[in-house]
Structure 1
Amino acid sequence: MRDELAPDPLESRLATRLARLRAEQGLSLEVLAERTAISRATLSRLERGEASPTAAMLGRLCAAYGRTLSWLMREVEESAPPLVPAAAQPCWTDPETGFRRRTVSPPGPGLRGEMLEGRLPPGAAIAYADSPQPGLEHHLWLLEGALELTVEGVTHRLSPGDCLRYRLHGATRFHCPPGGGAARYVLALCQP
């Protein structure tokens, strides 16, 4: 069991990568705060590893940097071999909503696709203001629970076994209705 006072290695690498991305793009904290609607103080704390970003924050940061969340996470996760055992698949939990993201098949050199598993608790919602890469192909297969997925203003209500396919150009909102179990899904992303 990991010492609760010791920093999480993945979160430490994420903080370092966020700071480097801002430096690589020559952005001040003020400019990045304006582009993302995340306060300068919060951005500074994220880059120093003093705070954990939420899924919504990471979505806004990825949009500002022109990356998908998966590509950002790939940059901070350890590289994966062709076979990715379940125990080696990195997981991340949004501290605000309890959303859990597991990288089942990370992006890699020469590969255009990736797969993620998402688990959204009942009553929780995550909204992304924009697509970090317009036109990115998505295939969402709901395994358990119920999910309301709003893509560019159109809400789709999914039941177990349903698959929603779309190219994303704008905002999305994932919502697990209260009263049932968690929404568990697989999301396949394909680079254009």
Structure 2
Amino acid sequence: MKESASDTRDTLDQRIARRVRELRAAQGLTLEQLAARSGVSRSMISVVERGESSPTAALLDKLSAGLGTSLNALFEAPRDEAPPSPVARRADQPEWQDPDSGYVRRALTPPGIAATLQLVEVNFPPGARVNYEVGVHRAGFQQQVWVMSGSVVVTVGGERHKLAAGDCLVHPIDQPISFHNPSRQAAHYLVAFSGPPTSRSM
């Protein structure tokens, strides 16, 4: 039987809940400590870890920054007994929609592989805006944004960049970043995120 959109959403929310718990436990952080590092309240973290909410992209970004990892790491599926595959088939790539802006992100990089580069495909609705208040725990991380169609305005700190199809922006992610689609058509872009190798042990 085909999985419905709501079933997929529930599955991803539960996956996120489990990953936040795992990553927090691996670092020996209490709820209070993660709240202080991320800027997300203890009660909200608790709700996320129980899978009782559909967190926004901005909130997940704060949590991943507080955990010193990437947003992609929060979407990783549980590792089974078989070794991770170096190939991620399109049908198996987790797709998630931000309940706030409506943007859809697809994680392209195979899960479970220790990698310094992660790829994410994004479909950004007309008029959509996402603000990321990136924390200090992301110093040394970097990303590139390559626009495949449409246009996107990316503001890094106080510097504004208007990107059209074919344009590519590289920037560190140790300061506030916002994405805005000012046009009447959807934008489609690729994000390449680089940083320390990610793995299930993070």
- The TM-score normalised by the length of structure 2 is 0.80
Q: Which amino acid aligns with 1:2?
A: E
Q: Structure 1 residue 76: deviation in Å?
A: 5.3
Q: 2-side partners of 1:169 and 1:76: how far apart?
A: 29
Structure 2 gap ranges (5+): 197-202
Structure-to-structure mapping, 1:48-87, within 5 angstroms: 48-74=50-76, 81-87=85-91
Q: Structure 1 residue 154: deviation in Å?
A: 0.6
Structure 1 gap ranges (5+): none
Q: Structure 1 residue 6: deviation in Å?
A: 8.7
Q: 2-side partners of 1:57 and 1:107: how far apart?
A: 22
CA root-mean-square deviation: 2.6
* Cα offsets for 1:53-91 (capped at 9, x unmatched): 110001111111111112332365888622322222111
Change (3 A) 1:74 1:183: same
Q: Which amino acid aligns with 1:115?
A: L
Structure-to-structure mapping, 1:1-192, within 5 angstroms: 1-2=2-3, 4=6, 8-74=10-76, 81-106=85-110, 109-130=113-134, 132-177=137-182, 179-191=183-195
Identity of aligned residues (%): 38
Asked if the contact 2:75/2:94 (under 8 Å) is kept, the reply is no
Q: 1-side partners of 2:145 and 2:170: how far apart?
A: 6
> In the alignment, which residue of structure 1 is the partner of 2:199?
none
My pick for the range that moved more, 112-121 or 8-17, is 8-17
Question: How many residue pairs end up in the alignment?
Answer: 191
Q: 2-side partners of 1:85 and 1:6: how far apart?
A: 17
Q: Structure 1 residue 162: deviation in Å?
A: 0.8
SS at match of 1:67: coil
Q: 1-side partners of 2:94 and 2:49: how far apart?
A: 21
- The TM-score normalised by the length of structure 1 is 0.84
Asked if the contact 1:146/1:158 (under 8 Å) is kept, the reply is yes
Q: Structure 1 residue 46: deviation in Å?
A: 1.0
